[in-house]
Amino acid sequence: MEIKALNIDESARQNAQAWLDGDYDEATKQAIREMAEQNPQELNESFYRHLEFGTGGLRGIMGVGTNRMNRYTVAMATQGLANYVSKAVGAEAGELRAAVSHDSRNHSREFAEITASVLAANGFKVYLFESMRPTPELSFAVRHFHCHTGVMLTASHNPKEYNGYKAYWSDGCQLTAPHDTAVIDEVLKIKAVSDVKMTGGEANIVSIGEEVDKVYLAQVEHNALNPELIRKHHDLKIVYTPLHGTGITLIPRMLKQLGFTNVNIVEAQAVPDGNFPTTPSPNPEERAAMSMAVELAKEIDADIVFASDPDADRVGVAVKRPDGEWMLLNGNQTMSVLFYYIVGQWQQKQLLTGNEYMVKTIVTSELPADIAIRAGVKIYDVLTGFKFIAGKIRELEGVETFIAGGEESYGYMIGDFVRDKDAVSACSMIAEIAAWAREQGKTFFDVLVDIYMRYGFYKEGLVSVVRKGKSGAEEIEQMMRDYRSNPPAAIDGDRVVCIKDYLRHESRDIESGRVETIDLPTSNVLQFFTASGNKITVRPSGTEPKIKYYFSVKGELCCKECFDQVNGELDAKIESIKRDMKLV
């Protein structure tokens, strides 16, 4: 069959025709024929491009097509990865090694086994986890086994239709430049599935599991700053949900290993399930995903609630207010409490030497930076994505001491034994902070209020505008061009005094016209700073079909009783900014 429909894009037609003519299974070819005859638009969406690596690697909707996650796109991506690593590392490396893991999503195990098979067929010794494990443990395994690369099959917190492929370098960090684009270049050289080595390396695959779990959890346990307080407050009431994901394999076990004896798991969400049947989205950033855990917390009068996403790298937290109601923390709030506690304990234990540093992303609140700076700890800003945080660690390794890092999207890293965000470590530290707060007669919420009273009440907002498919991607690109060609002179009546353009590496002072160079990798991000100190950031997502708007405002909190009033005033300010930017 030759695809001839007039309403099919030429790039999609060529890609689909290559699959029809190539060595692909009959079910795949039949699906292509049906799309061409019955749903040309779906064929366009499925074949108009090849999946690309973004801030989170390869990610897309599962299905047939070059722009979909399936056994063939996974195999070809892996062949490209294998080709690049073999060339980049060179023969002097001796035996090539890789680690592979996966989450609980549909087809994740199948994709992991395909990945392992292709790598093994290309001469790699492959350490394949026997069953699902969290993303941070995969990062740890890459370093533990001195691997040259690693792959985690996951779409993180995306809806059930998605799956993904996170590729790692030898330091346990996700691929960064030049490796990320170079891998894609290698993938694009593969014109047919027949170019992929699929079999012949079965003897090179080693199954791993418990032995790695033990070593990794020992490192997490070593993060504890006050183990005696955990023992004293071991009965702290903790509610935890893995949202049908990999967190169930290690987080309850880690909490028990630390000494917590009253961990209450949301049983309905404890069973791994790629359909995520109890929540519309397995994203702990969303209220609906946390609702069952909060209900259980109300029933048992818990002290703290947390949830991990399907691959257990992100953490959502809920805390009890003085009026007994439960409040969901945003990522900036959780990160601020983590930084506050960790830095404070390092100070109290006289561990700071003046050579320590922490890292945050440019879209994250400035509150964690204030906390670090006042303690005499350096703070570095990096682009959005944990690979840039890990890249900063690589840059400063052996020169400065990394304490912790994080980003507003619910990801945190404590210590450098893992080079990606780590919900296992974060949940452990959050529980420890709750125990430390109880020792002082306080709650986790009280600690947050203490921070606001000391450093200022920072409040953030986020709007994500979804634009799906090829037309959506084009619309997002046009939106960014419009902001650059016609930037706002004022936002909500507040004069814009500085514009930072990370695509052009420029920071422009509007009044003086002075331009300074931004020394960060190129990224399609714009930031508008206003005269009153507000910060508005606009960036297309690197992993999802959306453009994101981040809002940051600040007020003063004079007393604990004023929390609701100031919180409301700051919320109103953010909503006013959204209306002015026509986002609501």
User: Which residues carry out catalysis?
Assistant: 156
Give the relative orientation of helices 210-222 and 423-439 as an angle to the nearest 10 degrees: 40
Distance (Å, rounded) from C-alpha 456 to C-alpha 557? 6
Of the candidates 337, 352, 318, 356, the one whose C-alpha atom is nearest the C-alpha of residue 432 is: 337
Beta strand spans in 255-361 (E): 263-265, 304-308, 315-320, 326-328, 356-361
Tokens for 405, please give them. 């890092």
Distance (Å, rounded) from C-alpha 215 to C-alpha 98? 18
Alpha helices, DSSP H, located in 102-233: 108-121, 135-144, 179-188, 210-222, 227-232
| 263-265 sheet: strands from edge to edge | 263-265, 238-241, 304-308, 315-320, 326-328
Tokens 């917590």 sit on residue: 260
Quote the DSSP letter at residue 477: H
Q: For residue 135, what are the contacts with CB-CB under 8 A and spacing of at least 6? A: 101, 103, 152, 154, 156, 166, 246, 311, 312, 313, 420, 421
Q: How far is CA 408 from the centre of its chain?
A: 10
| Residue at 350: amino acid letter | Q
Strand partners, 54: 57
Of the candidates 73, 19, 67, the one whose C-alpha atom is nearest the C-alpha of residue 46 is: 67
Given a contact cutoff of 8 angstroms between Cβ atoms, the answer to whether 515 and 529 are in contact is: no
Strand partners, 238: 263, 304
SS3 261: coil
| Residue at 181: amino acid letter | T
